[in-house]
Amino acid sequence: MSPETLVPQHPTAAESTPFDSDSFNQAVMSTYGRFPIALERGAGCRVWDTQGREYLDFVAGIATCTLGHAHPAMVEAVTRQMQKLHHVSNLYYIPEQGALAKWIVEHSCADRVFFCNSGAEANEGAIKLARKYAHTVLDIEHPIILTAHASFHGRTLATITATGQPKYQKNFDPLVPGFYYVPYNDISAIETAISELDEGDYRVAAVMLEPLQGEGGVRPGDIEYFQKLRKICDETGVLLIFDEVQVGMGRSGKLWGYEYLGVEPDIFTSAKGLGGGVPIGALMSKKFCDVFQPGDHASTFGGNPFVCAIALTVCEFLEKERILENVQARGEQLRAGLRAIASQYPQQITDVRGWGLINGMELNADIPLTASDIVNAAINQGVLLVPAGPKVVRFVPPLIVTEAEVNQALQAVAQAMASLV
């Protein structure tokens, strides 16, 4: 592939596709509060709606489109693999799956990989793996998994139970037993929980945390906290599980979020950016806690030739094109620009934080201005953003975003704030 083809080219303008939101809403379950935009094509960090209007995409499918839209490397991989073999059962060896697993093992602390379709499934697998380890190795009859307040781990019944936010659990009870919540970045809460929950047949078997909380407001993990936590887990035999669904695969500026914290998890998960927008999830573990046997866990579509070939293309592109350097530089540029805007609106903006290209701008809790207000105002300026809770605006562009595109997004945020304040 020649260098000039590495950057996606803007597509030729096409005729607008008629779109009827009323018929859409009649046929599709109303599980999303959608913004009034129908997107139909994209290239790089830009997308176009059915009216032909162009937007700079700082949502990236919610931290998923690693290489943006219609990237030539992905287009080539999709075409090549679809013409070759797209799906077979895991009853057979799948070379593309083995190659992707080998890449992950060589570029992480993992020894083994299980592939599925989403972050929720990967986290569900981590919960199952931790429970089997607790029963078969730690001899715990009723294992407990500690998770954090304001966390987010998925939408399956077990993962919304693991999610420490009641709003996601409302009306879905009875929830899955075996979870207990502690404050994030509070090591004394971990120590107290491990001590107090050790009673009879009940015992803490694992701690499951995000290195940086995404849906919980883009809140980075404290390095000292995680290093102390790793020591506690080593001393007690408690498994340390990291949910890297949102921060993994380069979004933090490092390949994995745990590298930011200077510790290695026993089990960790990935999805979103791993496939660059093609549905794939992965559960990774160290050898000592890989207790799954044939029949314990499975996924019909997980790790098929199609998704693994594309994910491997994304992984190799990140490495060969040194995309992490761009993530670090553009992240610093974005945070500096957001802090300059915050200095102009000290009554409205209280914090700017994040790693690499996952960043949040927090609003004053005591004023009526919300994250959705800013997102809607930014849409009017031609930039797509996404909330991370009611008071945090999240910035998660594709990892190939340019300096000029970051400046455009910053200008849009400044104009949005000016229109609202």
Per-residue pLDDT, 200: 87
Is there a single domain that holds both residue 285 and residue 337?
A: no
> From first to last of its 421 residues, what are the pLDDT tens digits of the chain?
333 444 555 555 555 567 888 899 999 999 999 999 999 999 999 999 999 999 999 999 999 999 999 999 999 999 999 999 999 999 999 999 999 999 999 999 999 999 999 999 999 999 999 999 999 999 999 999 999 999 999 999 999 999 999 999 999 999 999 999 999 999 999 999 999 999 889 999 999 999 999 999 999 999 999 999 999 999 999 999 999 999 999 999 999 999 999 999 999 999 999 999 999 999 999 999 999 999 999 999 999 999 999 999 999 999 999 999 999 999 999 999 999 999 999 999 999 999 999 999 999 999 999 999 999 999 999 999 999 999 999 999 999 999 999 999 999 999 999 999 8
Report which residue type is found at 175. L
Q: What is the Cα–Cα distance from 404 to 70, expressed in whole angstroms?
A: 20
Cα–Cα distance between 20 and 17 in angstroms, integer?
10
Residue 71 falls within a domain, yes or no?
no
Cα torsion angle, 250, 251, 253, 254, sign: negative
Do residue 132 and residue 272 come from a single domain?
Answer: yes
- Is 229 in the same domain as 264? yes
Which of 294, 320, 346 lies at the terminal end of a domain, its last residue?
Answer: 320
Residues 315 and 331 in one domain: no
- Provide the pairing of β-strand 239-243 with 202-209: parallel
Do residues 316 and 327 share a domain?
no
Examine the domain organization and report whether 226 and 197 are in the same domain.
yes
Look at residues 57, 37, 38 and name the one whose alpha carbon lies nearest to residue 394. 57
* Domain assignment of residue 181, given as a range: 76-320
Asked whether residue 214 falls in the same domain as residue 282, the answer is yes
DSSP state letter for 176: P
Partners of 204 in the beta sheet?
144
Answer whether 127's CB lies under 8 Å from 158's CB: yes
Say if residue 332 is in the same domain as residue 395: yes
**Which residue in 58, 115, 226, 243 is the catalytic one?**
243
Of 58, 179, 254, 272, catalytic? 272
Tokens of 390: 């009611």
pLDDT (0 to 100) of residue 8: 56
CA 402 – CA 187 distance, rounded (Å): 38
The long-range contacts involving 162-165, CB below 8 angstroms and separated by at least 24 positions, are 162/123, 162/127, 162/208, 165/215, 165/216
Q: Which of 58, 152, 226, 242 is catalytic?
A: 152
Residue where one domain finishes, among candidates 261, 293, 320: 320
- Whether omega before 166 lies within 30 degrees of 0, making that bond cis, reads no
On the 0-12 / 13-18 / 19+ scale of CB atoms within 10 A, 409 is buried
| pLDDT at residue 15, rounded to an integer | 55
Residue at 172 is within a domain? yes
Based on the residue annotation, tell me whether 152 is a catalytic residue of this protein: yes
Q: Residue 361 falls within a domain, yes or no?
A: yes
**The pLDDT value given to residue 9:** 57
Is there a single domain that holds both residue 250 and residue 333?
no
- List the one residue out of 257, 250, 246 whose CA is nearest residue 281: 246
Q: CA 105 → CA 60, 102, 123, 301, 375, distances in Å?
A: 26, 5, 18, 21, 38
> In Å, what is the CA distance from 33 to each residue of 265, 378, 417?
35, 17, 23
How many structural domains does the chain have?
Answer: 2
Domain closes at, from 279, 296, 320: 320
268 catalytic? Reply is: no
Residue 127 in domain: yes
Q: Got the DSSP string for 354-374?
A: EETTEEEEEEPTTSS--HHHH
Q: Are residues 136 and 97 part of one domain?
A: yes
242 lies in a domain? yes
- Residue 185: CATH number of its domain: 3.40.640.10
pLDDT on residue 3:
36
d(CA 303, CA 325): 29
Q: What is the pTM of this model?
A: 0.94
Q: Is residue 70 a part of any domain in this protein?
A: no
Q: Give domain status of residue 379, yes or no.
A: yes
Cα 8 vs. chain centroid, distance in angstroms? Answer: 23
- The C-alpha atoms of residue 158 and residue 174 are separated, in whole angstroms, by 11
Assigned token pair, 45: 């960090």
pLDDT of residue 16: 58
Which backbone phi and psi does 27 adopt, to 5 degrees? -100, -25
CATH number at residue 39: 3.90.1150.10
Cβ contacts of 183 within 8 Å, gap of 6 or more? 148, 149, 189
pLDDT of residue 390: 96
With respect to residue 120, please indicate whether it lies within any of the assigned structural domains: yes
270 and 416 in a single domain? The answer is no
Do 85 and 157 lie in one domain? The reply is yes
Give every CB contact of residue 388 below 8 A, 6+ residues apart in sequence.
214, 215, 216, 217, 218, 360, 371, 394
pLDDT of 11: 55
